[in-house]
Structure 1
């Protein structure tokens, strides 16, 4: 399948969030994609085009603020270099700066709430939804529509 010219940034934390975003094979096969992920053993061995960025460490409020600023600068540099048309994320907090940057530059942002969240939302999802950072907000469980009434039920990624 020939890749289309649109460029997609796939950003997520490691673990289950990363495994979910990797399931978007139709997107990955159809568009020019790159990943933005924090450093872990799993992300260092990824074969796809990727950028390794800082992750959020929640020790105290000052450290959190400093780390968020560092993440924002790292991700802004990646954004300006790659110039994605669309940002897709499954969370978690590492994705917040890229979503903010995407909105500032008027790019499409798609947030997919974690498959692990069946009955309660996560903090990143609540933040993205509350501040309208996503153009399309997708839940994988209909039960979450009570927290995200304007979300689209998309079913499972898996």
Structure 2
């Protein structure tokens, strides 16, 4: 029996990093969640029945973000209830953090891959998920100074 795994990230570079792990899709009963943008609508065609979207929100538009972020938290909770994943794998950012906390609260194991973009400093989502992650992975050996309990895996590209 395959493990139920939820892969989640915001759109853009975080999603690009997450999709580097697609070799794991074949070995799992996977589902993918990201933000809905024109650039990633093709994912529903690539992985029929295995993709859902959260509302795209940017902290650059703070007023709108103040409404979208709570909505995404509620939507994340509904997705968790629907999917009930054993594992949640994430590369961040803000969109994924609530799902990690919801999953942790209800017994999912959290696997977090810190972004390749950070070589010496923590990302905000990394800071928030690190305390609850069952496995925290970094792509730069230098990041072990920031996250002492992390596992260095090298770049996923």
Tell me whether the two structures share a fold, i.e. TM-score over 0.5: yes
**2:14 aligned residue:** 17
| 1:63 to partner: Cα distance | 5.2
| 1:96 to partner: Cα distance | 0.7
Counterparts of 2:90 and 2:117 in 1: how far apart (Å)? 15
**2:27 aligned residue:** 30
Query: Do 2:92 and 2:114's aligned partners in 1 also have CA atoms closer than 8 Å?
Result: yes
**1:52 aligned residue:** 53
| 1:150 to partner: Cα distance | 1.0
**1:156 aligned residue:** 155
Counterparts of 2:9 and 2:38 in 1: how far apart (Å)? 15
Count of paired positions: 152
1:1-158 pair list within 5 angstroms: 4-46=1-43, 47-48=46-47, 49-58=50-59, 59-60=61-62, 64-129=65-130, 132-158=131-157
Of 43-52 and 95-104, more deviation after overlay is shown by 43-52
Query: How well do the aligned residues superpose, as a CA RMSD in angstroms?
Result: 1.5
Counterparts of 2:65 and 2:15 in 1: how far apart (Å)? 22
Gaps of 5+ in 2: none
Counterparts of 2:30 and 2:12 in 1: how far apart (Å)? 19
In the TM superposition, what whole-angstrom CA distance separates every residue of 1:67-111 from its partner, at most 9, and x where no partner exists? 332111101111111111100000111001100111110110001
Q: Secondary structure at the match of 2:132?
A: coil
Gaps of 5+ in 1: none
Counterparts of 1:82 and 1:88 in 2: how far apart (Å)? 14
